[in-house]
C-alpha cells in the first residue's frame, strides 16, 4: 500500500512523462489528474509495477493476466 501522497505523485508523474500528452487542447494538470483518478477509483484501472525495469504505469484491469491484484 502506498500513502495518498505517493499515489498522487505517481499519477502526476504518469501525466507529465515525455510523450504522454495525447490531448489536442490545453488541459490543466489538475483536470488530467482528476480524469486519471476516475478509472482507478472505479476499479477498472490499476497501477501496475514492472519488476523488470522498475517502473509503474496505469493499466486497464481487464488487460492484466489473471493474477492476484492488490
Residue-wise pLDDT for 7-58, tens only, equals 888 888 888 886 555 555 678 889 988 998 999 999 999 888 888 888 888 8
Quick one: pLDDT at residue 29?
86
- pLDDT score of 41: 92
Domain locations in the chain as residue ranges: 4-63
pTM of full prediction above 0.85: no
The answer for residues whose C-beta is within 8 angstroms of residue 58's C-beta and 6 or more apart is 14, 36, 39, 40, 45, 46, 47, 48
Q: Are strands 55-60 and 45-50 parallel, antiparallel or unpaired?
A: antiparallel
Question: Tell me, what's the pLDDT at 39?
Answer: 92
The reply to whether CATH 2.40.50.140 applies to domain 4-63 is: no
| Angle made by CA atoms 70, 53, 67, in degrees to the nearest 5 | 30
pLDDT for the residue numbered 57: 83
- Cβ atoms within 10 A of the Cβ of 17, count? 10
d(CA 38, CA 5): 17
Amino acid at each position: 500500500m502506498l500513502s495518498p501522497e505517493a499515489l498522487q505523485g505517481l499519477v502526476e508523474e504518469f501525466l507529465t512523462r515525455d510523450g504522454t500528452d495525447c490531448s489536442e487542447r490545453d488541459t490543466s494538470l489538475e483536470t488530467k489528474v482528476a480524469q486519471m483518478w476516475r478509472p482507478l477509483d472505479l476499479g477498472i484501472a490499476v497501477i501496475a509495477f514492472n519488476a523488470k525495469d522498475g517502473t509503474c504505469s496505469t493499466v486497464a484491469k481487464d488487460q492484466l493476466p489473471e493474477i492476484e491484484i492488490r
